[in-house]
Amino acid sequence: MNNLFRCILVGAFFFVTCAETEGIECLKSAAFLAPLDSSAHRKYALDREVDVLHLALEVTPDFKQRTVEGKATLRFKPIARPVEELKLDAVDLEVHSVTATEKIQTYQVTDEKVIVTFAEPIPPDKEAAVTVTYHAEPRQGLYFRTPEMGYKEGDTHLFTQGEEIEARHWYPCFDSPNEKFTSEITCRVSEGMTVLSNGRLVSEEKDPVTGLVAVHWSQDKPHANYLITLVAGYFKKIEDKHNNIPLAFYTPPSEIHEAAGSFRDTKDIMAFFEQEIGVPYPWPKYDQVCVNDFVAGGMENTSCTTLTDSTLFTDATENIRDSEALVSHEMAHQWFGDLVTCKDWSDIWLNEGFATYYESLYDGHKNGRDSMLYELYQRARHITGLTNDTN
Ligand SMILES: [Zn+2]
């Protein structure tokens, strides 16, 4: 059956898992099943004191030490009132320096924040920028897969996971979905490694001194912080195109022979969604990358989805397995969740509800109306059978 891992895991408190004979489903549903008088129904988006305009990240991973050296520059402007302090989410970051376009009086690094105090309040609408250089040994947010950890030598890689609030473990940020901004990432890796991220590839340049290759990606359309991704390491790919949108499917080199089956519906799904939704695919390319022991089934980072490599299958098993549901679900999120985003995590059902519904619509398109109706019936039974065990 195609009901593999369906949704990204969001923490034990907020989701319900249900192991079934035909697969495993993960639902981010408990928050909206909570009683109306509970605190889960009285959540609001975080206040924003500044409008974040742009994030530029420079990251150099050390695959042996499983650490990263980073430099994050946030461009912002105060919204309504003068801002004397900028508070950034940052967990377990070893901060080397903080500089800014404005004079800094002091800065403070706590377990969860970097707080920058300016000598003079920055007036509303005045653009400013803060740069933080740091070292991180992330326990969440950025995950290494290396031979020292038992993974295949030729498959060494790392991946990140932003949703819901993991990004703060590998760079300082405003880590809430009610803020959208453009972003760029430059990642320095050994020659022969692949670097993937959001948006379009700007450049790849080898440094003659260090021998490292700096790969620069840019996301020119604003998106939410949790959708920022970085995947780097040894990968192989297969490619296709939908109109002018390049499509690529990456796996660690030892698994590339299983890529074709999981990739095969991608083009058809994109064509169907564009027609059904009436809005063209909103990003400059669509990459899907399979990683070892992903933290969920799939994650819909803008233009660059991460998938569990356990979705891969060979010709010999295609009668009992496929990736259609996972691939269509994550692609539906490129519109529902990515282009249009919930303002607070208590509304995550909007992202998931639409993605799950469009996954069913594609099932109907490909396998017929009976298949879609049966899937909707199974979902309805599953949801109405859930009990609220969060209280
Ligand atoms: Zn989802």
Per-residue pLDDT reduced to its tens digit, 181-237: 999 999 999 999 999 999 999 999 999 999 999 999 999 999 999 999 999 999 999
Distance from Cα 186 to the centre of ligand 1, integer Å: 28
Structure token pair of residue 331: 């692609």
Supply the pLDDT for residue 388. 56
Per-residue pLDDT reduced to its tens digit, 116-130: 999 999 999 999 999
Helix (H) or strand (E) holding 362: helix 348-367
Per-residue pLDDT reduced to its tens digit, 233-259: 999 999 999 999 999 999 999 999 999
What's the gap between Cα 29 and its chain centre?
A: 19
Place of tokens 């305009």: 53
Per-residue pLDDT reduced to its tens digit, 249-306: 999 999 999 999 999 999 999 999 999 999 999 999 999 999 999 999 999 999 999 9
Per-residue pLDDT reduced to its tens digit, 77-118: 999 999 999 999 999 999 999 999 999 999 999 999 999 999
Supply the pLDDT for residue 11. 33
Question: Which residues lie closer than 8 Å to 100 by C-beta, 6 or more apart?
Answer: 116, 118, 128, 129, 130, 131
Q: What residue type is 334 in one-letter code?
A: Q
**What is the rounded average pLDDT of the residues 132-139?**
98
- β pairing state of 50-62 and 180-189: parallel
Structure token pair of residue 196: 């993937």
CA distance 19 to 377: 18
In the predicted model, is pLDDT for residue 39 greater than 80? no
Burial status of residue 157 (CB atoms within 10 A of its CB: 0-12, 13-18, 19 or more): buried
Place of tokens 């109907």: 364
Distance from Cα 164 to the centre of ligand 1, integer Å: 12
Supply the pLDDT for residue 15. 34
CA distance 146 to 152: 7
Does residue 330 carry a catalytic annotation? yes
Instruction: Write the DSSP symbol of residue 315.
Output: G
In the predicted model, is pLDDT for residue 27 greater than 80? no
Q: What is the CA radius of gyration of the chain?
A: 21
- 14 — pLDDT class (breaks 50, 70, 90): very low
Structure token pair of residue 163: 């949703």
Q: Which of 184, 330, 359, 375 is catalytic?
A: 330
State the ipTM, two decimals: 1.00
Structure token pair of residue 219: 């996301």
Distance from Cα 5 to the centre of ligand 1, integer Å: 10
Helix (H, G, I), strand (E, B) or coil at 350: helix
- 35 — pLDDT class (breaks 50, 70, 90): low
Distance from Cα 222 to the centre of ligand 1, integer Å: 20
Percent of the chain with pLDDT over 90: 82
Supply the pLDDT for residue 42. 64
The strand ranges marked E within 79-156 are 83-89, 93-100, 104-109, 113-122, 128-136, 142-145
**What is the rounded average pLDDT of the residues 132-159?**
98
Distance from Cα 75 to the centre of ligand 1, integer Å: 30
Distance from Cα 66 to the centre of ligand 1, integer Å: 29
CB contact at 8 A, 105 and 119: yes
Cα–Cα distances in angstroms (integers) from residue 164 to residues 16, 169, 301, 324, 372, in the given order: 16, 12, 12, 25, 30
CA distance 61 to 50: 30
Per this entry, what is the length of the chain?
A: 391
Domains of the chain as residue ranges with CATH: 1-32+235-386 (1.10.390.10), 50-221 (2.60.40.1730)
> Which of 32-36, 154-158, 166-170, 265-269 is the least confident region?
32-36
Cα–Cα distances in angstroms (integers) from residue 135 to residues 34, 87, 120, 140, in the given order: 40, 19, 29, 14
In the predicted model, is pLDDT for residue 384 greater than 90? no
What's the gap between Cα 24 and its chain centre?
A: 21
Supply the pLDDT for residue 310. 96
